[in-house]
Amino acid sequence: MKESAPDSSSSFSSSYPVRLNIASRLAEGAIDAGWGADVAFHYRGRLITYGQVRDSAARWAGALEGLGVAPEQRVLLALPDAPAFPAAFLGSVWRGAVAVPVNPYLTPDRYEFYLRDSRAVVAVVAPWLVEAVLVAASRLPWLREIVVCADPEAPGSESDDGARRAPVSAGGPRVHDGDALAAQAAPVAAADCHCDEPALWLYTSGSTGSPKGAIHLQHDIWVSADCWGRRTMQMTREHVHLSASKLYFAYGLGNSLYCPMWTGGSAVLVPEKPTPANMVDAIRVHGVTHFYAVPTFYNALLADPGFIGLVSDGALASLQVCVSAGDMLPAPLCERWMETTGVPLLDGIGSTELLHIFIANRVDDVRPGCSGRPIPGYQARIVDRSGADLGDDSIGDLWIRGDSACAGYWNRHADTKRSVRGEWFVTGDKYRRDSDGYYWYTGRSDDMFKVHGQWVSPTRVEGVLLGHEAVHEVAVVASKDDRGLSCGIAYVVPSMETQGLADRLRAHAAERLSGYLVPARIEFVEELPKTPTGKIQRFLLREREGAR
């Protein structure tokens, strides 16, 4: 069957082959395109070619086959951004198994939840997680194998070599050295998969509660890579990508793995926690053209004392475009970034359930404070609570149609029914669409509240407060005043002395907002609660207010 890119209609059934193994399409497709000797990944001075990626994926698949992993069984991946991640991820999908990436830097108790919920038969983990997984394994009878991927150059990679290689106790999971396992395995052919078979699960970030496993099919990566990477961003072989958001998140997976591989570009892998210093250094050293982060990270870059000097010295000279997703990008932050760096900053909205970005600004069409327009291959609706379409400038629920949408949530039937309405996915975001067809975020459905009978959009208030030089970060939530009436409270991370600042911030807001939108109270905090992806967890602040 001839492969063709998805079109902008609501159906993509003829756009990808019925028999599809997306790992093979990415890795072997690169070889077929003549990219075998081209760089796919940059890692600590090493250049990893597409040919090497293809070979490592086939060997990892062979290793998993040798461990008895059957098609559609889950393989948990808890790895940093290092070469082992794409090898194990692609190898799992190549085998026909389901890759389940999770954050390797969580507290040990969290891994039992992921292993139990996914019923993974193999856990591919960083060395510092072996003990936590072994402790949990006694309560997880289906976990048979633990594969440890150690990189001697990566932080925290030290481990007991004996423990990595030796079986544990009778009846418990065996522990293997990942490098040795893959090196000794014979490469195998990619599994013959249907385009609608599961390929990966991605757990939601938990910004509004406990994580849910979103089930993604083989064709979802095809759609997302082609609609976002090729058709919207027009990525090419010349582009070098760097993502502050990691591979184990939906946003980072597209940024650093399947979008670059789909278009022949390369990605820089940085295993450490992103900081202004290491991200700017990676941009400068590798000539990065595309940089991706969440709004809080762009804010951290601008707040770094040495950042302006680095910009003046040309550290960002290679950058062509920056992308922000994961949370709303306030207009003042977007404007400051572009004024400081001269690089376009594109705000977009995506989700774990849709795999990547589906509404975004464009390089030649940036509107600060606006999410932009639906990208090719996706359609959007603004609806009321009954599902009826609303007109321009009406605030309602955002529904999205696109063929990268997940099939549903694992073991969450009720949540799936609430979120999946035929071809449409209910995002849980409140939006309005203007008369020009641009979409403006007003908040999560759970974040909206009323004051004096009128709806308050926290993001609107936050955007105004962020325009004040004394505000580093801010989150606005509902509370009660001393009369028991609904009001707004602003939690502010200040950037200067706080004496008298609350009154100045309320005056600043009053000059720019209607009275009911002005926060009744300003509370200063050292930091805001966030998910590992950088999203502010406003529900925790609401709980704090409710406990008063």
Q: Is residue 32 part of a domain?
A: yes
* Same domain (yes/no): 523, 378: no
Q: How does pLDDT run across 109-159, given as a tens digit for each residue? A: 899 999 999 999 999 999 999 999 999 998 999 999 999 998 766 555 544
In a domain, 438, yes or no: yes
Q: Is 112 inside any structural domain? A: yes
31 belongs to a structural domain = yes
Residue 58 is part of which domain span? 22-203
- Kindly state whether residues 137 and 159 are assigned to the same domain: yes
3-class secondary structure, 218: helix
On whether residue 404 sits in a domain, the answer given is yes
Q: Per residue in 42-95, pLDDT tens?
A: 999 999 999 999 999 999 999 999 999 999 999 999 999 999 999 999 999 999
Cβ contact 138:129 at 8 Å: no
Q: Do 93 and 129 have their domain in common?
A: yes
The DSSP call for residue 194 is B
Q: For residue 283, what pLDDT is reported?
A: 98
- The Cα–Cα gap between 231 and 335 comes to 26
Domain membership of residue 222 (yes or no) is no
| Shared-domain flag, residues 439 and 455 | no
66 with 101, same domain: the answer is yes
Element (H, E) at 39: strand 39-43
Describe the strand order of the beta sheet including 198-203 as a list of residue ranges: 174-177, 145-148, 122-125, 74-78, 98-101, 198-203, 213-217, 408-409
The reply to whether 369 and 488 lie within a common domain is no
Banded model confidence at residue 335, pLDDT cuts 50, 70, 90: very high
Inside any domain, residue 38: yes
Quote the pTM value.
0.86
Is the pLDDT at 206 greater than 90, yes or no? no
pLDDT of the residue at 12: 41
User: Among residues 180, 203, 226, which one ends one of the domains?
Assistant: 203
Q: Is residue 240 part of a domain?
A: no
Same domain, yes or no: 354 and 484: no
CATH of the domain at 461: 3.30.300.30
Cα atoms in the 13 Å half-sphere on the side-chain side of 109: 0
In this structure, the number of other CB atoms found within 10 A of the CB of residue 487 comes to 19
CATH number of the domain enclosing 91 = 3.40.50.12780
Cα distance between residue 122 and residue 251, in whole Å: 24
Do 464 and 535 share a domain, yes or no? yes
Q: Residue 211: its pLDDT value, please?
A: 86
Domains: count for the chain: 3
Give the domain CATH number at 425: 2.30.38.10
Residue at which a domain ends, from 445, 467, 491: 445
Q: What is the DSSP letter of 258?
A: I
